[in-house]
Amino acid sequence: MRRSFFELQACGYQIPLGLKTSIMGILNCTHDSFSGDGFLSGPKGQMDKDQVLRYARKMVKDGADILDVGGESTRPGSSGISAKEEIRRVVPVVDLLVRHIKVPVSVDTSKIEVAQAALDKGASIVNNIMGTQTSIKFLKMVCSYDAALVMMHMRGTPATMQSKTRYKNVIQDVIDELKISVEKCLRVGIKKERIIIDPGIGFAKNVGQNLMLIHHLNKLSLLRCPVLLGVSRKSFIGQVLDKGPSGRLMGTAAAVTVGIMQGAHIVRVHDVRTIKETVRMTDAILKNNT
């Protein structure tokens, strides 16, 4: 399909989307990430900032266009942490990256206190998994910073979401709920060029629903916003391939490829170097047929 073009505005950044696929590299400041790649040594542990910075620099060298920093696991069944603890984990890393790395930094959080603290340190994108349930107060805060905002589709919370997978039509229901979210953003003054939508693969969806959403991702173009696709190492890939998180790279690459062919503008991934090759090849095929 022909992908739509956008110029995302995120604080001081203007990010062209659509000519090529952008890569959002995942940086987990956790000890309990489902993918086993967290930098925290334990629930109340410390991080080696030099190690984090080396890892971030490598991701950028390997092809990451955006770095996404998160401090709370949102795997199915997770119970969450306090805003104070999440700030302790995330904000020093955001500050480090903003000062030393010249790509936009995103903060992956649904807590207003964490998002604001990260924006104060120079984050330019808020990646909110609770997008379709976000409060007006949260949206107004993001608007006041001129930051970009990822509005992801989810029902319930990470602890309850997998009990909320009943849809009349998963594709249309996701579109309808994201449409309400986008309209809410616009009403509080967030400009359209600052909004990204995410179908929420793995969040309140079963395996079949995840596969169907990726296959029909192009239908989200009705909302006229850039689309972020997060499939990296997720459990639906493991269930299809019977693989643990460390064995899901090829499944991730396949899902990324189909997602790009169906209009994804940004892919959020752990394995930046390998997925960069997948992205370049898929973009080349698309470019040669438009």
Rounded distance between C-alpha atoms, residue 118 and residue 125, angstroms: 9
DSSP the chain: -PPP-EEEEETTEEEEESSS-EEEEEEE--S--TTS----SSTT----HHHHHHHHHHHHHHT-SEEEEE-S--STT-----HHHHHHHHHHHHHHHHHH--S-EEEE-S-HHHHHHHHHTT--EEEETTGGG--HHHHHHHHHTT-EEEEE--SS-TTTGGG----SSHHHHHHHHHHHHHHHHHHTT--GGGEEEE--TTSS--HHHHHHHHHTGGGGGGG-S-BEEE-TT-HHHHHHHT--GGG-HHHHHHHHHHHHHTT-SEEEES-HHHHHHHHHHHHHHHHTT-
Rounded distance between C-alpha atoms, residue 130 and residue 62, angstroms: 30
Domain, as residue range, for 82: 6-287
Query: Along the 290 residues of the chain, how does pLDDT read in single tens digits?
Result: 678 899 999 998 999 999 999 999 999 887 655 444 556 544 566 768 888 899 999 999 999 999 999 988 776 666 678 999 999 999 999 999 999 999 999 999 999 999 999 999 999 999 998 877 889 999 999 999 999 999 999 987 787 888 888 999 999 999 999 999 999 999 999 999 999 999 999 999 999 999 999 999 999 999 999 999 999 999 999 999 999 999 999 999 999 999 999 999 999 999 999 999 999 999 999 988 65
Is 1 among the domain residues?
Answer: no
Rounded distance between C-alpha atoms, residue 37 and residue 4, angstroms: 33
The region that residue 242 occupies, defined by phi over 0 for left and psi between -120 and 50 for alpha, beta otherwise, is left
| Catalytic-role residue among 20, 205, 234, 248 | 234
Is 203 among the domain residues?
Answer: yes
| Catalytic-role residue among 20, 233, 268, 276 | 268
Q: What is the pLDDT of residue 3?
A: 81
Question: Side chain identity at 50, as an amino acid letter?
Answer: D
* Residues forming a β-bridge with 108: 70, 127
Question: Side chain identity at 79, as an amino acid letter?
Answer: S
N residues, the chain: 290
Q: Which of 13, 198, 193 is nearest to 98 (CA)?
A: 13
Is 283 among the domain residues?
Answer: yes
The region that residue 187 occupies, defined by phi over 0 for left and psi between -120 and 50 for alpha, beta otherwise, is alpha
* Residues forming a β-bridge with 106: 68, 125
Place of tokens 């470019």: 287
- The alpha carbon torsion through 10, 177, 226, 170 (nearest 10 deg) reads 140
234 is annotated as an active-site residue: yes
Is 61 among the domain residues?
Answer: yes
**190 token code pair:** 């967030």
The answer to whether the beta carbons of residues 98 and 121 sit under 8 Å apart is yes
Is 248 among the domain residues?
Answer: yes
Rounded distance between C-alpha atoms, residue 18 and residue 264, angstroms: 8
Q: What is the pLDDT of residue 73?
A: 76
Rounded distance between C-alpha atoms, residue 130 and residue 152, angstroms: 6
**CATH code of the domain containing 21:** 3.20.20.20
Q: What is the pTM of this model?
A: 0.92
Please state the domain count of the chain.
Answer: 1
